[in-house]
Chain A
Amino acid sequence: MSKYLVDKFLFTVDRDPELVERYRDDPAGTVAWWEAEEANRILNCVAAERSTWLAFDDAERAALAGHDYPALFAMGAHPFLTLTLFIAMFERDHEGLDFQLEYARRLSHMQLPYPDIAT
Chain B
Amino acid sequence: MAELVAVIASTHHPFYHRASTSSGEDRPPFADEWVRKVEAFRETLTLARPDVLVMVGSDHFHQLWLDNMPQFLVGKAPAYDGNWYNEEREFGLPRMHLAGHEELSAHVLRQGLDSGFDLAFSNELRIDHSITCPIITLRPQADLPIVPIYTNIFAPPLPQPKRFVQLGRTIREIVEGWPSDQRVAVIGTGHLSLELGGPRQFGPHGPDPQFDQKAVGWIAGGDIEECLAEVSLESLHLPGNATHGFMDFMLMMGVAGEGQRADYVDTFDLFHTMEAYFTWYPKGAPS
Contact = CB atoms under 8 A, between A and B. Distances in A.
Given A79-B196, A87-B90, A119-B155, A100 B237 contact: no
A53 interface: no
Contacts of B196: 79-80, 83
Interface in B79-93: 84-86, 89-90
Interface residues of B, number: 29
Contacts of B198: 73, 79, 104, 107, 110, 114
A23 to B, nearest CB: 14
Given A15-B84, A114-B237, A80 B89 contact: no
Interface string A55-93: 000000000000001000100001111111001100000
B197 A101 contact: no
Contacts of A69: 197
B2 interface: no
A97 B270 CA distance: 14
Contacts of A119: 66, 155-156
Interface in A5-57: 7-8, 11, 14-15, 17, 42-44
A88 B197 contact: no
Contacts of B200: 104
A88 B66 contact: no
Nearest to A8: B66
Nearest to A117: B156
B241 interface: yes
A112 B60 contact: no
B114 interface: no
B154 interface: yes
B61 interface: yes
B30 interface: no
B156 A83 contact: no
A88 B90 contact: yes
A101 to B, nearest CB: 6
A17 B197 contact: no
Contacts of A44: 67-68
B65 A79 contact: no
Interface of B: 60-62, 65-68, 84-86, 89-90, 154-157, 196-203, 237-238, 241-242, 271
29 contacts: A7-B66, A8-B66, A11-B66, A14-B86, A15-B62, A15-B86, A43-B67, A69-B197, A73-B197, A73-B198, A78-B155, A79-B196, A80-B154, A80-B196, A80-B242, A81-B61, A82-B197, A84-B86, A100-B201, A103-B197, A103-B201, A104-B199, A104-B202, A107-B199, A109-B199, A110-B198, A113-B237, A116-B156, A119-B155
